[in-house]
Amino acid sequence: MSIKTDSRHLYLQVIEEIKRDIQSGKYKEKEKLPSEFQLSKQLGVSRATLREALRILEEDNVVTRKHGVGTFVNSKPIFSSGIEQLNSVTSMIESSGRTAGSQYLSTELLEPMDEDREKFSPLTIHTIAQIERVRTADNEPVVFCIDKVPEGVIPLERVHKEDSLFKLIEEYSRKRIAYAVTYIEPIGYHDRIYEILNCDPEQSLLLLKQMHYTEEDEPVLYSANYFRSDVFSFHVLRKRM
């Protein structure tokens, strides 16, 4: 279908045309698109129309525009999950047919800070275990995890042997995580985490901060998980009330 004979706004037609070219393999993941001059000429539209289409495609995480360099096709996320579904990272990875794994980094017993005491309120905590791990999919690093649990909730000597903290907490403490309060934040460049996850400096991370509770509303686990945005995407079902 010719762009010029389509009754929709031109920029919407351009968006669909570029998406089709990506899906067909004409433009591959991480590949640079033709220049704005070349692309506008190919599509028969003005550069202003093309820029509006590219702006929306960037908002939809289809492409990334790098000032002075060009526009690049983003990798399609491998894992997609509804944020209303509380799944462990292990189950998310395994549900996509990949093998989940962990690279254990460290465990520290710390005196809780005021913000830790607030998070785990109304529990009174005297010592907190902080665990740092990298979660892998087919041995590729995809999530950097910082987990905090009150001392005694899990056997710390088993942390480096288990992939799922959910499972370890349930087996050891007989506490089943029923729900979590979650906050999502986009994160820019971070020296240590980007190096560990082999991230492109231009890409962003998705930070999920989650406080996990039992059915009795007891807080048992706080997690700060940094997901690679080129590998994971999250969505939510919203209903009109």
166 backbone dihedrals φ, ψ, rounded to 5° = -55, -50
Residue 235 has pLDDT above 90, yes or no: no
- Three-class secondary structure of residue 4 per DSSP: helix
Share of the chain above pLDDT 90, in %: 54
Tell me what pLDDT residue 1 has.
43
Residue 7 has pLDDT above 60, yes or no: no
Decide if 229 contacts 205 (C-beta within 8 A). Answer: yes
Tell me what pLDDT residue 78 has.
67
Decide if 145 contacts 135 (C-beta within 8 A). Answer: yes
Residue 45: Cβ within 10 Å count? 20
Residue 65 has pLDDT above 60, yes or no: yes
Residue 3 has pLDDT above 60, yes or no: no
Residue 13: Cβ within 10 Å count? 21
d(CA 202, CA 128): 35
pLDDT tens per residue across span 84-103: 778 778 888 888 788 988 89
Domains detected in the chain: 10-73 (1.10.10.10), 79-235 (3.40.1410.10)
